[in-house]
Amino acid sequence: MKFSLSWLRDYLDFSASLDEICATLNRIGLEVEEVDDPSKRLSGFRVATIMEALPHPDADRLQICRVNAGEGFEEVQVVCGAPNARTGLNVIFAPPGTYIPGSDITIKAGKIRGQVSGGMLCSLRELGIGEESDGIGELPQEAPIGHDYVQFAQLDDPVIDIAITPNRGDALSVRGIARDLAAAGLGTFKPLVIDEITGNGPSTISWQGEQTACPYIVGRLIRGVKNGPSPDWLKRRLEAVGIRPQSALVDVTNYLMVALGRPLHVFDAHKISGDTLQLMQAGRETFRALDGQEHVLGTDDLVIVDGHGVQSLAGIIGGEQSAVDENTTDVFVESALFDAVQIALTGRRLGIQTDARYRFERGVDPALVRPGLDAATALIIKLCGGEASEVTQLGDEPAWQRTASLRFQRLKSFGGVDLSAQEAIELLGALGFTLTEQTDEKAVFAVPSWRNDVASGQVLDQASSLPAEKAKAAAATVVEIEAEADLIEEVLRLRGLDAVPMAALPRETMVPAPALTPRQARGGLLRRLCASRGMMETVGFSFVSDHDAAVFDEVRESERLLNPIATDLNQLRPTPLINLLRALGRNLAHGFCVVGDGAFFELGPCFGQAGAHMVLAGIRGGVTARAPGHRAEEPSWIDAKADLVAALGELNVPEASLNTTADAPSYYHPGRSGQLRQGPKQILGRFGELHPRVARHFGLSGTVALFELFPDKVPLPKKKRKAAPALSALQPVRRDFAFVASADVVVQDVLRAVRGADRKLIDDVRLFDIFEGGSLPEGHRSLGVEVTLQPHQESLKEEQLERLTQAVEAAVQKATGATLRR
């Protein structure tokens, strides 16, 4: 929000300096972002006159000008290339040492084509205050020679730019800022008087339509106006805050929007078809706005239409078809109260950002709808003439009246400041909060219409399980608490936010609580685990190409981006494997990948039918480095399963509790992949080799091993502390078994049977070999199993080992039909 000091004086009587004003704004929470003081930026420029302009003897486009710039520069020779330089012209002169902001240079005396030049004659563009020009700036004949140009042009008016928080729509006006400064003790707030204009005769244009997103709208016709350029004072006001003057009719609406925070719009009445303007939801149609752009409207967008179609995107931007111009003689002025959420949704969807939308989104004064129209009417008649009609309206001013209470002791307990009740009442009164009731403990205030941020909005979920009466009472209690917090905030703000003492938050225990939840801490554990296994972490976009996504999952339109940052990033990814495979392909293409370098992982979000969820994905590609005694090898599904099992082990899921099923998705290689389940339904992860079809899609050759883990599906461990492991002082004993089993026997069933032979003595079971062929019967294979035995009380004897061997053999044969290989 920008405003100039001269504009501020319209609403605030003050004698404070610029620095004091900025300090006060920062103190009350209206943070100053920038101060532009033209008197400092444009210091040194003078009003001068060209006494004589002669052609340069050695350059066709240059002139030698004798210039009088007042004391010290009564006759200076300046070489100038402007085509409009001529004898008797009053100009802007920059003596040597002057900084030219528009060109970013500092003037020096010197020679140009052999002729002495002791300064520069400037254009408005070179001063940074005008548009591109072919010549130097021309000043009126009455301009005082030698006078400071900034003072002559009335540019010695600093402009302050402040940051506005989303809840402070009342501060999006010069008058609102003046009110805050006055309440903070800097000056006296001037009353605002807007006379109601009755009008002569009914308006020939009236309102119709629904009021869902616009409870109150008014308008009136002004006949016989003469549109043209605005007076200089109005132009300077708008230019100071970054608004380009257009015409008097348009400039009036922009002026009142900045001055009072009241957005308005003017239609050329002769360009409106019919005698009504209708508020309605748009259809699927195209609308050409004042920005010159074609916008495709949706069915949720609120528009103002006439007999020809859409004439305005309500509360955001007007239409080009009904815009006023120099031939406009009759105008229809609109002032309305549009729904903030409706405006925000439409503006965001269409990508239109205007000053009107910015204010409506943050809330405008509902009591200023009709006075705003009267203020615009009076100013239009003053600048453009004409005669106003009576007001036509749709709906009525909403019941914005509400109260808020403040318990005085809460200023100390909640706000941390020791403040008297009377001082708090006076501070709130200066902001427009009217005292309606007071006791020793609290005060009740009527909230002003412009403070829609105080105790407003929905405070209770409509789907509350409470009974209706209790829910209503609970909502009222929440509103009261929120309103009181708002009042405390206002008192603290006006006293100065820097005066609020620092206080440490209370500690429930001397030991600080963990910074991460157990589920969040898992991310760090998994990352360290993957890094320790030689994998490099990547962080990819959550967006991928829809062509890549289709290889892994059905492409869902609900996950297609309407405005992607790139054409190949237009779909929410179904798995991080897409990003990892692209990274692997790029590394392989540059010859960087052996297994140590060609192993990547990512822990990040993905999206599918089950919604958004986290996935740990990892891949291994390329070949191992050759070494004496070792040949180069590609990764396999065994590597992928080992990575997945290790990651689950880090999450306290033992391998013995897992079931392996051969039903991995179609992008895995059939027969070389599987899923790890906990129970029959809960899938914790997948592993295997990449399907050759998918590998070709990504331009990969050779074997690629990959896995996916779903951390959110792994249950958190119970909160009770684990008992210390019972470590044995005795040495473990390892025994190898080779079982001949049918090829259709699941290895996991064999391992489970071995574990069940003696759960107290058997500590670990691991498959170390699979052999086929040789002397084995056709359709059979040999499974090598290593069994770790851990005694706890005494060392194992030979007869104990023999009994255990028999128990293992019997358990496996009973469960799977496999026999011990002799």
Annotated binding site for Mg(2+): 453, 486, 489-490
Cα 743 from Cα 592, distance rounded (Å)? 39
Cα 484 from Cα 479, distance rounded (Å)? 9
Cα 65 from Cα 70, distance rounded (Å)? 15
Cα 558 from Cα 612, distance rounded (Å)? 12
CA 160 to each of CA 8, 37, 228, 290, 559: distance values in angstroms, whole numbers, following the listed order: 10, 9, 29, 28, 44
Question: What CA dihedral angle connects 168, 433, 377 and 347, to 10 degrees?
Answer: 20
Using DSSP, state whether 476 is helix, strand or coil: helix
- Kindly give the interhelix angle for 248-260 and 232-240, rounded to the nearest 10 degrees: 50
Per-position DSSP letters for 741-807, written without gaps between them? EETTS-HHHHHHHHHHH-TTTEEEEEEEEEEESTTSPTTEEEEEEEEEE--SSSPPPHHHHHHHHHH
**Strand segments (E) across 225-297:** 265-268, 276-281, 286-288, 294-296
Cα 536 from Cα 153, distance rounded (Å)? 64
Burial of 240 (0-12, 13-18, 19+ CB in 10 A): buried
- The label of the residue with tokens 């603290």 reads 492
Q: In what order do the strands lie in the sheet with 442-446?
A: 403-407, 442-446, 434-438
Residues 6 or more apart in contact with residue 433 via CB below 8 angstroms: 404, 445, 446, 447, 448, 451, 487, 490
**Strand segments (E) across 8-59:** 12-13, 32-36, 46-55
Using an 8 Å Cβ cutoff, are 85 and 121 in contact?
yes
Q: Nearest 5°: CA angle at 21, between 17 and 27? A: 145
Cα 191 from Cα 186, distance rounded (Å)? 16
Lookup: tokens for 231 = 């007076």
CA 330 to each of CA 91, 248, 253, 325, 686: distance values in angstroms, whole numbers, following the listed order: 40, 13, 16, 11, 73
Which residues share a beta bridge with 106? 99
Using DSSP, state whether 355 is helix, strand or coil: helix
The closest of 312, 201, 198 to 265, measured between CA atoms, is 312
Residues 6 or more apart in contact with residue 518 via CB below 8 angstroms: 716, 717
Using an 8 Å Cβ cutoff, are 484 and 443 in contact?
no
Question: What CA dihedral angle connects 794, 799, 800 and 802, to 10 degrees?
Answer: 150
**Strand segments (E) across 229-354:** 265-268, 276-281, 286-288, 294-296, 302-306, 309-313, 317-318, 331-337
Instruction: Tell me the binding residues.
Output: 453, 486, 489-490
Residues 6 or more apart in contact with residue 141 via CB below 8 angstroms: 90
Using an 8 Å Cβ cutoff, are 430 and 12 in contact?
no
Residue type, 115: Q
The closest of 299, 275, 302 to 214, measured between CA atoms, is 302
Question: What CA dihedral angle connects 554, 558, 562 and 563, to 10 degrees?
Answer: -80
Strand 302-306 to strand 276-281: parallel, antiparallel, or no bridges (unpaired)? antiparallel
